[in-house]
Amino acid sequence: MSRFFILSLLASLTLISKKKTNFVFFLVDDMGMMDLGTYGSTFHETPNIDQLAKTGMKFNYGYAACPVCSPTRASIMTGRHPVRVDITDWIPGSSNNKKNKLLHPEDRDNLALKEVTIAEELKSHGYQTFFAGKWHLGNEGHWPTDQGFDINIGGHHRGSPPGGYYAPWNNPALEAKKKDEYLTERLTEESTRFLEKRNQDKPFLLYLSYYNIHTPIQAYRKHIDHYQKKAEKFSGTTPTEQEHLGQTRMRQDNPALASMVAAVDDSVGTLLAKLNELGLSNDTVVIFFSDNGGLSTKPKTGPGSNSPLRAGKGWLYEGGVREPTIIRAPGVTQAGSVSNQPMVSMDFFATMLELAGLPLRPNLHMDGRSLLPELKGKKGKPRPLYWHYPHYHGSTWKPGASIREGDWKLIKFYDQEKVELYNLKKDPSEKKDLAKKNSAKSKELENKLLAWQKQMNAKLPKPNPNYKN
């Protein structure tokens, strides 16, 4: 046997042994950090997601780039800030109201095709790319298969199922097989089928983007009885708290919403079991995230609660942007590890490239950075985080922007012409506004926020000439 043959054989065996990294990305809609057992919920029960956290790393300060869905989804796909891709509101967003003090800026109603998505980048390196569920990044011509995904199951322009969660869903990208078929069950079924039928010679990205737990709040029948019995144990009416012009739900006690959370947990459990069954767990990075906080604040309260975090979807308080964030990277993350370093949704792009052993593309994912140091238990480079939400929202939020640097967080309210300052370490519920007491820190952060907005050419709200006080 020749030396050349032996060397070639060893090289081949090395290539075979070094399997490329696969990715399963779970993205939940409208799920706040406090909706999971692993983050402290006692009303919701999420054993499968909790187990995922026990086998990977949980981030206590995982942030969405925006308190509403489409901008955050775009930031995950591109590694770029919503301001940079010009999607700063949900698509298509609310029209300007002539009664409002300000006119919010117009933004894009789709993710531009020139943007390079994580699916396109992985596909260029030989990955199979599969998408199932909620897309909400533009109409036909801007669907998942136009943005790097080989397969699209159910992703279209709408942000919630037009026909509800039980078939018929009126979904142009997914036809029901039977009457009353539950949407999440079907998306899970299609995802497991992809794992079974995929090209085994190629790595894959499976991106399961749930419509749950977005409105309409419809009970998942398999679990509703259990949660109704749990809810009966509460005494008195659900406590609420005034939030500017809205009301915030302060207790998790909604059986229908809890059953929808349970549907997500069932689905996660099914997919993780399938990875084990197919011998893929050791070669697959699993990521779990949400696009914005739970809907808790509305004119007459929302269906969920993010307490003790303040407010919820639509708001730049912690309840609107803090998300459940779990990453399990075999051979990288230590089981049951926890990171207290802030991260943001733009970070996933660079993180996935580095975990896949692929070159970083800083010209693409320029607003995010790889979380590999944190995943290895080290400290990542500190940086400020910025939010820009210059729109009115049905949660009663009014245009504003925000910055977090270290333990400090400043929120600028354009409509009210004021700022608020909080120390998140001492005051995680954002109850003690320190803007007047610590005017120097307030001014420092406001100036940094303004400088960042100028650098990014961020669109700002303008005075409404028809406004009458």
- Bridge-based pairing of strands 57-63 and 322-328 is antiparallel
Amino acid 140 reads E
Backbone angles phi, psi at 403, to 5 degrees: -140, 140
Measure the CA–CA gap between 101 and 98, rounded to whole angstroms: 8
Intra-chain end-to-end CA distance of the chain, in Å: 91
What are the start-end ranges of the E strands in 42-164?
Answer: 57-63, 102-103, 128-133, 151-153
Give me the DSSP letters along 210-228. Answer: --TTSSS----TTTHHHHH
Q: What is the pLDDT of residue 117?
A: 98
Residues 6+ apart with CB under 8 A from 275: 24, 195, 281, 284, 286
Asked if 438 contacts 408 with a C-beta cutoff of 8 angstroms, the reply is no
Distances (CA, A) of 261 to 232, 255, 311, 358, 380: 18, 10, 19, 34, 32
Token duo for residue 350: 């660079």
Q: Helix, strand, or coil here: 169?
A: coil
Q: What is the pLDDT of residue 18?
A: 59
In the Cβ-directed half-sphere of 196, how many Cα atoms lie within 13 Å?
10
Q: How many CB atoms lie within 10 A of CB 133?
A: 29
Q: What is the pLDDT of residue 10?
A: 43
- Return per-residue pLDDT of the chain as tens, 469 residues: 455 444 444 444 444 445 799 999 999 999 999 999 999 999 999 999 999 999 999 999 999 999 999 999 999 999 999 999 999 999 999 999 989 999 999 999 999 999 999 999 999 999 999 999 999 999 999 999 999 999 999 999 999 999 999 999 999 999 999 999 999 999 999 999 999 999 999 999 999 999 999 999 999 999 999 999 999 999 999 999 999 999 999 999 999 999 999 999 999 999 999 999 999 999 999 999 999 999 999 999 999 999 999 999 999 999 999 999 999 999 999 999 999 999 999 999 999 999 999 999 999 999 999 999 999 999 988 999 999 999 999 999 999 999 999 999 999 999 999 999 999 999 999 999 999 999 999 999 999 999 999 999 999 999 999 998 8
Measure the CA–CA gap between 426 and 46, rounded to whole angstroms: 29
Q: What is the pLDDT of residue 338?
A: 98
- Bridge-based pairing of strands 57-63 and 337-339 is parallel
CA 296 centroid distance within chain: 17
Asked if 305 contacts 249 with a C-beta cutoff of 8 angstroms, the reply is yes
In the Cβ-directed half-sphere of 144, how many Cα atoms lie within 13 Å?
26
The tokens 């406004």 sit on which residue? 467
Q: What is the pLDDT of residue 3?
A: 53
Amino acid 344 reads V
334 DSSP 8-state letter: P
Angle between helices 347-355 and 69-78 (to 10 degrees): 30
Asked if 386 contacts 400 with a C-beta cutoff of 8 angstroms, the reply is no
Backbone angles phi, psi at 357, to 5 degrees: 75, 25
Q: What is the pLDDT of residue 17?
A: 43
Residues 6+ apart with CB under 8 A from 173: 143, 152, 153, 154, 155, 156
The answer to whether the bond into 168 is cis (omega within 30° of 0) is yes
The tokens 């929202």 sit on which residue? 393
Q: What is the pLDDT of residue 469?
A: 80
- The length of the chain is 469
The tokens 């794992």 sit on which residue? 195
Residue ranges of the domains in the chain? Answer: 19-379
Per residue in 177-216, is it b (16+ CB within 10 Å) or e — as a string? eeeebbbbbbbbbbbbebbeebeeeebbbbbbbbbbbbbe
Measure the CA–CA gap between 166 and 148, rounded to whole angstroms: 29
19-379 classified as CATH 3.30.450.20: no
39 DSSP 8-state letter: G
